[in-house]
C-alpha cells in the first residue's frame, strides 16, 4: 500500500454532493496520507456470565482501493478504473481469555470512502473449540453472504433485506465518528432499523435478523478520562429492541476517534493510545515497540 496508490484510487471516486466542503477537505487531507490510524483499547467483555477484564482491542482504520465486483482490495487501482473505488476499512480485533483458553476475533467493516455506505462486513473467531467465519456483501436492496461454523446447524448462506435507513451494529464504529459529516445533530434522537453485530451474534448463537434501535446524541459535549488522557467528547446512546443498551463517546475534535464505548457483550472499551503508522511495514524484530504508542503490552 503506497500513497501513490491511494491517491490514484481517490481520483477514481464518483463525485457526490458534500454536506460541507470543510468536512470533505478534512477527510481527504487526513485519510489519503498513506498511513493507518491505530487505536488501542483496554477492554472488558462479558462471556459465560463473567466480565473478562484482561481483554484488549485494536481498531485499525485505513483507506484502500477496492473492487466493486469482487469486494476485495485491488493490487492496481488504475488497471480497471470503472469498477474500482476507495474503501475506508475498519479492522476491529478483540482478544480475551476465558479460563484456560482464549478468544481471538476480528470484525472487518468496509464502507465507501465517498459516501460512508457499507459494502462488506466479514468476521472471524478462533478459540480452542473451533473456528467461525462469516461474510456479508451489501447490495442496493439486500445483503447476501455466508456463515461457516463448527457448531451443527449454524452454517449456510446468509440472505437479508436492507431496509431504508437501516444501520448495522458493526457500522456504528465508523458512522458515529462523522468522518464526512455529523451522523446526527446535537440533541437529535432517531429510531432506525438495526442489524445486531456479527460478534454479538456469534457469542449469543443468534441468527442475524433486523430489529429496531433508538440512537440519541447528547445536546452538549462532555469530558471523559481514559488511560490515554482526558478528551472532550460527543455522547451517543444506543438502545436496542433486544434489551441491550450502550454508549459511545466520540472525540469532538477531528478525526473524532472513539474514546470509550460500551454495548454488550462489550462492557467497556477505553482508549489506551493512538498512532498513525504504516503498520504493514513494521514486521521486523523490534517493531513490537510500537505497541507502546497504542498503550498495549509489548511481548517479551
For the segment 172-190, what is each residue's pLDDT rounded down to a tens digit? 999 999 999 999 999 999 9
State how far the alpha carbon of 223 is from the alpha carbons of 211, 217, 231, in Å. Answer: 32, 15, 5
pLDDT tens-digit series, residues 114-173:
999 999 999 999 999 999 999 999 999 999 999 999 999 999 999 999 999 999 999 999
Helix or strand run (H / E) with residue 230: strand 229-240
What pLDDT is attached to residue 77?
87
| pLDDT, the chain, mean | 92
Q: How far apart are CA 93 and CA 40, in angstroms?
A: 10
pLDDT tens-digit series, residues 69-118:
999 999 998 888 999 999 999 999 999 999 999 999 999 999 999 999 99
The residue ranking higher by pLDDT, 125 or 15, is 125
Contact, 292 vs 298, CB < 8 A? yes
Nearest to 40 by CA among 274, 231, 290, 259: 274
Contact, 250 vs 261, CB < 8 A? no
Q: How far apart are CA 71 and CA 6, in angstroms?
A: 17
What pLDDT is attached to residue 24?
76
Q: Where are the domains of the chain?
A: 3-294
% of the chain at pLDDT higher than 70 = 92
What pLDDT is attached to residue 22?
60
Q: How far apart are CA 136 and CA 145, in angstroms?
A: 4
Q: In sequence order, what are the residues at sequence separation of 6 or more whose Cβ sits closer than 8 angstroms to the Cβ of residue 293? A: 38, 273, 274, 275, 277
pTM: 0.91
Residue 28: exposed, middle, or buried by beta-carbon count in 10 A (0-12, 13-18, 19+)? middle
What pLDDT is attached to residue 148?
95
Q: How far apart are CA 112 and CA 66, in angstroms?
A: 9
Contact, 85 vs 13, CB < 8 A? yes
Q: How far apart are CA 112 and CA 63, in angstroms?
A: 9
Average pLDDT, integer, range 64-68: 96
Q: In sequence order, what are the residues at sequence separation of 6 or more whose Cβ sits closer than 8 angstroms to the Cβ of residue 283? A: none
What pLDDT is attached to residue 14?
35
Amino acid at each position: 500500500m503506497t500513497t501513490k496508490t491511494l491517491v490514484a484510487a481517490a481520483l477514481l471516486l464518483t463525485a457526490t454532493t458534500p454536506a460541507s466542503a470543510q468536512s470533505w477537505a478534512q477527510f481527504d487531507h487526513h485519510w489519503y496520507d498513506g498511513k493507518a490510524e491505530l487505536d488501542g483499547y483496554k477492554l472488558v467483555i462479558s462471556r459465560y456470565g463473567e466480565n473478562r477484564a484482561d481483554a484488549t482491542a485494536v481498531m485499525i482504520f485505513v483507506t484502500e482501493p477496492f473492487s466493486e465486483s469482487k469486494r476485495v482490495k485491488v493490487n492496481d487501482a488504475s488497471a480497471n478504473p470503472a469498477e474500482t473505488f476507495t474503501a475506508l476499512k475498519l479492522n476491529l480485533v478483540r482478544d480475551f481469555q476465558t479460563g484456560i483458553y482464549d478468544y481471538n476475533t476480528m470484525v472487518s467493516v468496509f464502507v465507501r470512502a465517498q459516501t460512508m455506505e457499507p459494502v462488506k462486513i466479514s468476521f472471524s473467531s478462533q478459540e480452542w473449540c473451533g473456528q467461525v467465519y462469516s461474510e456479508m456483501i451489501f447490495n442496493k436492496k439486500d445483503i447476501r453472504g455466508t456463515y461457516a461454523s463448527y457448531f451443527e446447524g449454524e452454517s449456510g448462506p446468509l440472505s437479508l433485506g436492507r431496509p431504508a435507513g437501516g444501520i448495522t451494529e458493526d457500522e456504528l464504529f465508523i458512522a458515529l465518528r462523522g468522518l464526512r459529516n455529523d451522523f446526527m445533530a446535537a440533541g437529535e434522537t432517531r429510531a432506525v432499523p438495526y442489524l445486531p453485530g456479527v460478534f454479538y451474534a456469534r457469542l449469543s448463537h443468534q441468527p442475524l435478523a433486523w430489529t429496531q434501535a433508538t440512537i440519541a446524541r447528547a445536546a452538549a459535549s462532555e469530558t471523559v478520562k481514559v488511560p490515554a488522557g482526558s478528551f472532550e467528547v460527543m455522547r451517543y446512546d444506543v438502545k436496542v429492541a433486544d434489551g441491550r443498551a450502550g454508549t459511545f463517546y466520540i472525540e469532538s475534535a477531528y478525526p473524532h476517534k472513539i474514546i470509550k464505548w460500551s454495548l454488550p457483550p462489550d462492557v467497556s472499551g477505553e482508549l489506551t493510545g493512538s498512532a498513525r503508522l504504516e503498520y504493514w511495514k513494521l514486521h521486523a524484530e523490534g517493531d513490537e515497540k510500537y505497541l507502546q504508542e497504542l498503550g498495549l503490552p509489548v511481548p517479551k
